[in-house]
């Protein structure tokens, strides 16, 4: 865990590979070594596997999705309240004591990748027995992924784009397909598929270019993985009922392990 802290001085936590000293300079995500929490709450509308969860929204993100509904905090890593790992761990213990029905603690954002070193330290300070969820765009380096595998019980992956063109154009994520697929296959190689829960948010007008290639890839490579299809796109364009029906029918026809 301690080794991850070197990334604050030479950051290659994610595949942007900025190699900046975050104490003095800014990389793509603009996050310094300080961790800010934008909000926190008990969530009851997540997938059954993790529900109810105590969700901690960390400010900052390593993607720039042009439809982001959280851009105020995702694109401003200094938004919210600065927390130390010890303070955040105390808050987690307090919330779990207040809400004994809570099953899991989720780190999300923005995206939690830029603050992984401090998140792992936070987990090490939590006294209450619980399960930890890493909810991320998964654009982290494979080297970092392998280091964090033992610390989380569930990896909730937002697999957003089915091709590199859309990923680059919409979210400024280069070489996206290879990064995501290689990272996901690590779970198969290490026999940790039970830790994996993948989400795809269906986007209007991205059925053939994004949705279909993702579903086809899962059907071919990771058909036993829990797959959550989200149909509540909140951008300016809306999904039609026909789009939603076609997407569910297609995913079912490919025998994906759909979870809700």
**Residues in contact with ligand SF4 by the rule CB under 6 A:** 11-14, 16-18, 20, 22, 27-29, 31, 62, 113-114
**Backbone phi, then psi, for 115, in 5-degree steps?**
-115, 20
User: Minimum distance between the CB of residue 2 and ligand SF4, rounded to whole angstroms?
Assistant: 18
Spatial contact of 153 and 147, defined as CB atoms under 8 Å apart: no
| Complex with ligand SF4: residue 29 or 55, whichever CB lies closer | 29
Residue 47, class by beta-carbon neighbours within 10 Å (0-12 exposed, 13-18 middle, 19+ buried)? middle
User: Minimum distance between the CB of residue 14 and ligand SF4, rounded to whole angstroms?
Assistant: 3
**How many whole angstroms separate alpha carbon 136 and alpha carbon 216?**
22
Spatial contact of 1 and 121, defined as CB atoms under 8 Å apart: yes
Ramachandran quadrant class, 241 (left: phi over 0; alpha: psi -120 to 50; beta: rest): alpha
User: Minimum distance between the CB of residue 259 and ligand SF4, rounded to whole angstroms?
Assistant: 29
| Complex with ligand SF4: residue 4 or 246, whichever CB lies closer | 4
User: Minimum distance between the CB of residue 22 and ligand SF4, rounded to whole angstroms?
Assistant: 6
| Complex with ligand SF4: residue 22 or 118, whichever CB lies closer | 22
| Complex with ligand SF4: residue 18 or 251, whichever CB lies closer | 18
| Complex with ligand SF4: residue 63 or 229, whichever CB lies closer | 63
| Cβ partners under 8 Å of residue 153, min gap 6 | 104, 131, 132, 133, 195
User: Minimum distance between the CB of residue 173 and ligand SF4, rounded to whole angstroms?
Assistant: 10
Q: Which residues pair with 131 in a beta bridge?
A: 104
* Rounded-to-5 percentages of helix, strand, coil across the chain: 40, 20, 45
| Complex with ligand SF4: residue 7 or 200, whichever CB lies closer | 7
Closest by CA position to 231, among listed 254, 209, 257, 204: 204
User: Minimum distance between the CB of residue 73 and ligand SF4, rounded to whole angstroms?
Assistant: 16
The SS3 assignment for 212 reads helix
CB nearest ligand SF4: which residue?
27
């Amino acid at each position: 865990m301690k080794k991850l802290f070197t990334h604050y001085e030479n950051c290659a936590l994610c595949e942007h590979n900025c190699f900046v000293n975050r104490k003095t300079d800014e990389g793509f995500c603009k996050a310094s070594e300080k961790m800010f929490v934008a909000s926190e709450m008990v969530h009851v509308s997540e997938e059954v596997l993790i529900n109810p969860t105590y969700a901690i929204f960390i400010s900052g993100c390593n993607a720039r999705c042009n439809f982001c509904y959280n851009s105020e905090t995702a694109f401003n890593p200094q938004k919210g309240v600065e927390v130390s790992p010890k303070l955040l761990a105390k808050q987690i213990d307090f919330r779990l004591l207040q809400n004994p029905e809570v099953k899991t603690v989720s780190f999300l954002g923005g995206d939690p990748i830029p603050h992984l070193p401090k998140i792992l330290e936070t987990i090490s300070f939590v006294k209450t027995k619980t399960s930890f969820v890493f909810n991320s765009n998964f654009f982290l380096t494979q080297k970092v992924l392998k280091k964090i595998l033992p610390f989380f019980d569930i990896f909730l992956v937002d697999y957003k784009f089915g091709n590199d063109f859309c990923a680059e154009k919409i979210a400024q994520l280069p070489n996206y397909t290879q990064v995501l697929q290689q990272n996901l296959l690590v779970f198969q190689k290490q026999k940790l598929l039970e830790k994996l829960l993948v989400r795809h948010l269906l986007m209007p007008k991205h059925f053939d270019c994004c949705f279909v290639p993702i579903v086809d890839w899962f059907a071919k490579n990771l058909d036993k993985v829990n797959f959550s299809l989200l149909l509540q796109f909140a951008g300016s364009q809306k999904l039609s009922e026909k789009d939603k029906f076609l997407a569910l029918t297609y995913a079912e026809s490919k025998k994906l392990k759909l979870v809700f």
